[in-house]
Structure 1
Amino acid sequence: MTAESAGPVDPWADFDLSTADHHETGPSQRLRLAFYGRCSTEDAQDPKTSHDWQLLAARNLLRTAAPDGEIVADFFDIGQSRVLPWKRRREASRLMRALDQPSRPFDGIIVGEGQRCWFGSQFSEVAPVLEHHGVSLWVPELGGCYDPRNSTHYMLMTLTGGMSRGERQRVQERVRLGMAVQVENDGRYQGGRPPYGYTVVGYAPHPNPRKAAEGFQLKKLVPDPERAAVVERIFADLLAGRSLRAIVAALNEEQVPCPSAADPARNAHRDMTGWQVPTLRAILTNPRYTGYEVWGTFKKTETLIDPEDPTWGYRTRLVRSDAKPVRSREQTHEAIVDVVTFTRANKVLSARGAVSQVSKSRRNRTRGTSHALQGLVYCSICGRRMQVNRSDVSSAEPSGLRYRCRLRDLTPGSAAAERHPRSVSVGQELILGKVRTWMVELFDGDLRDEAMAGLLAAAAAPRLVDVQTERLHERVAAAETKLRRFGQAIALGTNPAALVGPMNEAQEELAAAQIELSLITAPARAPSQERLQRLFDDIGGQVRHLLAPQRSPELLREFFVETGLRLTWDHPDRLLHAELDLSESLSSDLRETGEIRGVKGRVRGGT
């Protein structure tokens, strides 16, 4: 009789034993994490404080969830709205590009607050990429590491993005309602550039105690006598039967400073070349000249950058509001024109058809849309930005878009007007084709080494800020030496009264030199070869993708702006001069001084 078996025999036992992995597991590797955070400057956040508390929150999470972990890299976006997707945030996009690098120094990412990092559906776009590269994600709201196989984790993270979106919308709505009430009930000035003819003055402490303690005041508009007289003249001339173009010609001939020239500090971005018809129309239709505060004429709207790829996010635009603006119940500042005069002037504009239906239809064909080179093309003759104009579609210009500079828009009698042709224009397709070729060669082709060598040479050259700093240090040392000698003379018995004047002069010289020295930004360190190599690799990786013909105009223009592209059309020689300013693409210490300007080139090609 055989012994009874203790249990069923597994027929796969020998096979499983022979194929088992008997390798010993080595010592566990320390968890290396990259910290990511973000702060916006819209609500006056202190970037350093925001960075430090988010980093502290990340470290507190490590202490409880992963005591063996350490933060080895830091990625922090400053002044980047949460609405921007990660691929459009400077530091976040740099972090994502580092994921597929073999020498990546981190194994996971840790954040200080989920709502600051993800907005709307952004987490759904980032999480699959992290999972693909095997990078873990640590979030305080989850109390540890995100598990892509845990549906609860995914629901919580998408909920976090939705809460972030809802929070932003609630804040926007509260701010809008609050500003509307302040204007309607109190007539409070809401800031911004004052209309031509007015200046802004403070008249009372701010009602918020904290802001009042910091010196903030409520402000109101006060007429500037000289400029207010020009505004009165414009209204009077219009009601006397003169056309807008005739008024513009008279103001320019009399060399009356236009609004941008009258206040260059606030209008450094404008051409300041004289009065224009749109400038007059903006003055004639601005109800604030009646003494009433008005708010809500324009509104912010968000449109998709690339409708074919929503992951690029939205672009915020300022457009004229279709809702009725909010007007104060009573006059809040001294009027330059009365309500009756303002109303009569606007009726005259409407009756005359100051903006004809034909002109409206022509402008509306390009209004409300962004074009790839809008605001980036300049005329070499007058130095002004060339305006977008849509012409008939042709084989040479499939889009029908051209950039134009007209003689009629220049100040009569100016030096530029004397040599300017009646109209200068160049097609967008011609420019884009040349720019695409040039930028590919520059960042990922034959011109790359030459451009990098030029940037390094420019950084190594003596800079004006260094010379100024050296001279100011010499002035400080000389003044301190004088004061020290005066002190020694007094100690040796010299009458102090005889040295009061020289000592005061030396003290004033010392104080002046120290103030000038404090106003000079510390000189930036020159970029290394490795830093420029990474910069060119980062931009070069985007060039071929973003400059593909099918990319949206909004996305193209954003890329051109970020790389500091400036194009100058030389009409007499039929040449396109291109210049890139890479200071914004360098690290923050280089970006602050802007010493590394960029590279220039000439893109040949006739029309």
Structure 2
Amino acid sequence: MFDPPIDLSDLPGYQATASTRPARTAFLGRCSTKDNQDPRSSIAGQLAEASALLAPGEAFTAHFWDVESGMLGLDERSQGSADDYARLGVPVPRDGGLRELLEWVERGELDRVVCERISRVARDMLPSLQVEYHLASRGVTLECANEPRGGMTTGQLELRRTAQVRAEIYRHELLEQSMRGQRQHAAAGYRHGPPCYGYIAVVDADAPPAANRFGGGRPKMRLALHPDSRRADTVQEVFQLRREEQLRDSEIARVLAADLDRHPLADGQVLWRPTRVRRMLAQPKYSGYQVFGRCAARTNRSRINPIADWVWSREQAHPMLVPLEKWHETQLVTAQMQQRQAPGWDRVNEAAAQRRIQLRAVRESDTHILYEAAGRQFVLPRGDLPAAVADEVIAILEAGA
């Protein structure tokens, strides 16, 4: 219906010239961790579905796939080593993961990328869109085997965006269900994370089996006192040195290091560091209660969540090393010591408070402290803070506000 009024088919350029170069098509796949899915069947199944989009006689130029969570950001993807993937025994060749795919695209070595469905690119919509945009801006098409072929672009786009939204909603649903289970796990007193100094993890033989689960499942564990009783004594002495003598982290570390026979190091520990002492003093599990949600594990493990958001077990779940009242008193002493800044700190603290920026100590030595605030880290001396240094710190806080 849009033909010219006369026959122009004899003119050069009447029809687009077909490229003589065969299309360079890559396979992109992903499955969750090997604990949740069997990558051998999952990746092979995705490849079989994606192969339906190949032309007769065409083969994939390269294969890119990952075995990891689709909730990771682009900068966190494709972290596994070649040896790790070789041990999985997946019957599909691997030229890399998503990160390597983007590098191939950047070098102009691909024309088309095919995957089973858009959620295999990423669970979150933002990184999925970022990959799609990156490919399109370099002339590389992204096709999904579960999307219809032909028709109008708007229909295909609506289906793809709907699938991306659904994938992200499913991701949040999984997180909500997982967090609900983690809270109940902690409330019942079962262990979360590695055991802290002075404890070991033991299987709770009295724990009920997981309902509606085929197979054994992971056993529930609780904390128990370490067989070396010196560790329990060390924990109690650390709290006493802070609470009664108000020693700094570095001073307590020196006390412990001076007598390793009484204060043994933890496995893999080479010396007593102030940061380890600080973590020990902040650990509420020494009160005998199980506690979950202290740190922002997925975003920033160094950031401590508000205490009001922590999940405490309904009752004491393991042997107590420090009574909860003494732990509470120790936290007050620590807070008071942190507020006792030299006069030069007044303007810095006021500037931080006005901008609702937390000035947090990361680690320290006998003479200096490494602070973090407003996305920046800087080293400041102990004691008096020179006016010029205070001005520079305030400028950093103002820039990050």
Shared fold (TM-score, shorter chain, > 0.5): yes
Residue of structure 2 in register with 1:341 after alignment: 326
Q: Deviations over 1:170-217 (max 9, x none)?
A: 111111121112222x22222x12111111111226723797944732
Quote the Cα distance in structure 1 between the aligned partners of 2:36 and 2:28: 20
2:233 to 229, 233, 251: 229
> The residue matched to 2:337 in structure 1 has which SS?
coil
Matched, 1:41 2:33: yes
Q: Deviations for 1:6-31, whole angstroms, at most 9, x for unmatched residues?
A: xxxx99536x2552668998899876
CA contact 2:289–2:315 (8 Å) conserved in 1: yes
1:407-556 alignment runs, 5 A limit? none
The one-letter code matched in structure 2 to 1:249 is: R
CA offsets 1:355-386 (integer angstroms, 9 cap, x no match): 12538967x778579xxxx99xxxxxx9xxx9
Alignment counterpart, residue 173 of structure 2, candidates 170, 173, 176:
170
Letter in 1 for 2:59: E
Segments of structure 1 that go 5 or more residues without pairing to the other structure are: 1-9, 303-315, 376-381, 392-398, 409-552, 554-607
After superposition, what is the alpha-carbon deviation per residue over 1:232-281, rounded to whole angstroms, capped at 9, x for unaligned? 2223344543524554332222235878x3221xx6xxxx33242x4334
- Is 1:189–1:219's contact at 8 Å kept on the other side of the alignment? yes
Q: 1:126 to 1:280 in 2, by over 3 A?
A: closer
In the TM superposition, what are the counterparts of 1:48-59 in structure 2 within 5 Å? 48-59=40-51
CA distance in 2, matches of 1:54, 1:208: 31
Query: Which residue is 2:104 aligned to?
Result: 98
1: CA distance, partners of 2:58 / 2:25: 7
CA distance in 2, matches of 1:283, 1:210: 38
Q: How does 1:165-204 map to 2 (within 5 A)?
A: 165-184=168-187, 186-190=188-192, 192-204=193-205
Contact 2:73 / 2:127 at 8 angstroms: preserved in 1? no
**Residue 354 of structure 1: aligned partner:** 337
Counterpart of 2:104, as a letter, is A
State the Cα deviation string for residues 274-309 of structure 1 (Å, max 9, x = none). 242x4334323322112111111122465xxxxxxx
Tell me the distance in 2 between the aligned counterparts of 1:288 and 1:296. Answer: 12
Alpha-carbon displacement from aligned partner over 1:214-240 (angstroms, at most 9, x marks no partner):
473211111122200111222334454
Deviation at 1:131, TM superposition (A): 4.0
1:39 to partner: Cα distance? 3.1
Aligned length: 345
| Residue 271 (structure 2) aligns with | 273
The amino acid of 1:253's aligned partner reads A
Question: By how many angstroms is 1:126 displaced?
Answer: 3.6
What secondary structure sits across from 1:335 in the alignment?
Answer: coil
Gaps of 5+ in 2: 79-95, 383-399
Between the aligned partners of 1:177 and 1:11, the Cα distance in structure 2 is 66
Letter in 1 for 2:305: S
Aligned to 1:157: 160
Partners of 1:24 and 1:176 in 2: CA distance: 56
1:62 alignment partner AA: L
One-letter code aligned to 1:320: I
* SS at structure 2 position matched to 1:141: coil
**Letter of the structure 1 residue corresponding to residue 117 of structure 2:** E
Residue aligning to 1:219: 221
1:253 corresponds to which of 246, 252, 258: 258
Which residue identity does 2:304 align to in structure 1? R
Counterpart amino acid of residue 291 in structure 1: G
The residue type equivalent to 1:92 in the other structure is: L
User: 237-246 or 282-291, which moves further after superposition?
Assistant: 237-246
Task: State the match for 2:315 in structure 1.
Answer: 330
2:85 paired residue number: none
Give the Cα–Cα distance (whole angstroms) in 2 for the partners of residues 62 and 195 of structure 1. 53
Which one is further off, 320-329 or 237-246? 237-246
* TM-score for the superposition, normalised by structure 2: 0.69
Task: Specify whether residues 124 and 199 from structure 1 end up closer, same or farther in structure 2 by C-alpha distance, changes over 3 A only.
Answer: closer
* Greater relative CO, 1 or 2 (CA 8 Å, sep 6+): 2
- The residue identity in structure 2 corresponding to 1:340 is E
- CA shift digits 1:443-468 (9 cap, x unpaired): xxxxxxxxxxxxxxxxxxxxxxxxxx
Give the counterpart letter for 2:160 in structure 1.
M
For residue 34 of structure 1, report the CA deviation from its aligned partner.
Answer: 1.0
Matched to 1:228, the amino acid is A
In structure 1, the partner of 2:146 is: 141
Query: Are the equivalent residues in 2 in contact too, given 1:206–1:212 (CA < 8 A)?
Result: no
Q: Matched residues in 2 for 1:33 and 1:11: separation?
A: 36
* Equivalent AA in structure 2 for residue 273 of structure 1: L
Q: Residues 522-576 of structure 1, C-alpha deviation per residue, up to 9 Å, x if partnerless?
A: xxxxxxxxxxxxxxxxxxxxxxxxxxxxxxx9xxxxxxxxxxxxxxxxxxxxxxx
CA–CA separation in structure 1 for the residues paired with 2:98 and 2:15: 39
Cα distance in 1 for partners of 2:27, 2:169 equals 25
Question: Are the structure 2 counterparts of residues 154 and 226 from structure 1 closer, same or farther at C-alpha, using a change threshold of 3 Å?
Answer: same
**TM-superposition CA deviations, 1:120-176 (whole Å, max 9, x none):** 13444344544454434321230447x8x6112112222222222211111111111
2:304 corresponds in structure 1 to: 320
1:113 aligns with 2:117: yes
1:203 and 1:220 in contact (8 A); partners too: yes
Residue 86 of structure 1 contacts residue 92 of structure 1 at CA under 8 Å; is this kept in 2?
no
**Which has the larger share of helix?**
1
Give the letter aligned to residue 345 of structure 1: T
Aligned to 1:298: 295
Residues 258 and 275 in structure 1, CA contact (< 8 A), matched pair in contact too: no
1-side partners of 2:4 and 2:239: how far apart? 102
Percent identity between the two aligned chains = 23
Pick one of 2, 6, 27 that aligns with 1:13. Answer: 6
Give the whole-Å Cα distance in 2 for the aligned partners of 1:367 and 1:44: 40
